[in-house]
Copies of this chain bind each other. A is one copy, B any other.
Amino acid sequence: MGPMVSMPDLSNLSPQPHVVIVGGGFGGLAVARHLHRTGAQITIVDRRNFHLFQPLLYQVATGGLSPANISVPLRALFRGKENVEVLLGLVNDINVAERSITLESGKRIGYDFLVVAAGASHNYFGHPEWEAFAPGLKSLEDALEIRSKVLAIFEQAELETEPRKQRDLMRFVVIGGGPTGVELAGAFGEIAHQTLKDNFRHINPADAEILLLEAGPSIISTYEPDLVQKARDALHRLGVTVRERTMVKEVNEGQVIVESDGDREVIKSSCVVWAAGVQASPLGKVLAQQTGAPLDRAGRIQVSPDLTVPNHPEVFVIGDLAHREQHGGLVPGVAPAAMQMGEYVASVIKARIHPESAPIEPFVFHDKGAMATVGRAFAVVQTRRWKFSGFAAWVTWLWVHIFYLTQFTNRVLVVIQWGWNYLTRNRSARIITGYSAAEGKPL
């Protein structure tokens, strides 16, 4: 197969082109890691000073891990690599005509190649006002707030003398039955049934009611029905009530209003977490306006087969911000896809620096399968060849995550922390910080 993608005008390209990467997530890092030995000048721009291992963020939200266990300082990753520069800042604007980006601080940075890997945040489906009552789980701050809130609720229930209020306090709602919602609800169940056992004198944490609400007919709907049923059973054992075909109509202070089978119902809850949808970074819109690239409904850029923006072979979009169809479906917004995209983009840039190299094939996502964990020692795994669940699946899940983590620096400690948690059924990070347990709100 010959080169299917257009080549940029290389007449102005320096032998050490400047590659600017917006976002230090899985996609952005993969580009830098596969490119830094080429002599290209690389600038990584991120709002935060660390890379976040987002698939384990729910473990921080539930006190199993500390923020530093799932974060790596970006500068530590590129320490001593003189051709890689890390720059902290928020990208406000992109100017593809001038080939430059502008930071919030006003600083302008020119580029030869631009890789936009700015990711996604929560999507409240046109109801941004719900965010105040149902925070999502995207940042470390989100995770710490959810952790403090959940722990503080048990403390308040312990002090509450009226049984009805106690019951209302101890009702947790997770909105969205995708992998994140399932993992979060499972971890809440684990906290209530195992971690906090015998910790209180006036309440039994196992009495907590945990609701997992899914609008569609099935949680984790990309899995096969028998695996989904196994996940439902595992959630049930942890005290999680799975409610499918249940549409959230409104979220406000202390309650969620849902509709299922045409019936409206008010669910009282002092802890509602949003795990229902993602919205691409606003940089998608900026790029679309500049280049005329089409956006999809979630704000993602519809990229060319080589992950560039149409007519701009020097501008790439990868990760959660990229909309790319394959085999009639979308390449999913998961870490492996972002990493594969990043590696691919690095190879494309390399090929353009060295035009004598092999022709560029279109990007193809190799799906190695999916997995989700439910509480301690249970997971479901589905690949093209296998599907299985239970403890073996959990061990697989653990190894895959450790394998990915080992690409960074603090892998050993995370493994030890997990082994420790597993052996002791403990969650040592269940401390309430930045939050007044007595008043039930942030300090």
Contacts and interface: CB of A to CB of B under 8 A. Distances in A.
Interface of A: 47-50, 66-69, 71-73, 75-76, 79-80, 82, 85, 87-90, 103-105, 107, 140-141, 144, 151, 155, 158-159, 196-201, 409-410, 412-413, 416-417, 420, 424, 426, 428-434, 437-438, 443
Contacts of A141: 433-434, 443
Contacts of A140: 431, 433
Contacts of A79: 197-199
Contact of A76 (B89, B107, B426): B426
A434 B141 CA distance: 6
A49 B82 contact: no
A164 B2 CA distance: 56
Given A66-B66, A67-B66, A201-B85, A73 B430 contact: yes
A438 B158 CA distance: 41
A413 B438 contact: no
B198 A431 contact: no
Contacts of A431: 48-50, 67-68, 71, 73, 140
Contacts of A429: 66-68
A93 to B, nearest CB: 15
Contacts of A424: 409
Given A67-B433, A104-B438, A199-B75, A155 B413 contact: no
Nearest to A72: B428
Given A68-B428, A75-B196, A141-B433, 10 more contacts: A49-B430, A66-B67, A67-B431, A73-B430, A76-B199, A85-B201, A88-B155, A141-B443, A410-B420, A413-B413
A426 B438 contact: no
Closest CB pairs A-B (n = 10)? A68-B429, A66-B66, A75-B199, A80-B198, A50-B431, A88-B155, A66-B68, A410-B428, A71-B431, A88-B437
A47 to B, nearest CB: 7
B413 A428 contact: yes
Contact of A416 (B47, B50, B416, B430): B416
Given A67-B431, A76-B199, A49 B151 contact: yes
B80 A432 contact: no
Nearest to A443: B141
Given A68-B66, A75-B200, A141-B434, A420 B412 contact: yes
A69 B66 contact: yes
B82 A155 contact: no
Contacts of A48: 431-432, 437
B412 A159 contact: no
Nearest to A47: B438
Contacts of A443: 141
A107 B160 CA distance: 11
A144 B443 CA distance: 14
Contacts of A428: 68, 72-73, 76, 409-410, 413
Nearest to A85: B201
A35 to B, nearest CB: 17
Given A75-B196, A199-B79, A426-B409, A155 B49 contact: yes
Nearest to A70: B431
Nearest to A50: B431
14 contacts: A49-B437, A66-B69, A73-B428, A73-B430, A76-B426, A79-B197, A87-B158, A90-B438, A140-B433, A141-B443, A409-B426, A413-B420, A413-B428, A416-B416
A82 B72 CA distance: 41
Contacts of A197: 79
B159 A50 contact: no
Contacts of A144: 433-434
Contact of A413 (B75, B76, B85, B417): B417
A434 B438 CA distance: 21
A5 to B, nearest CB: 33
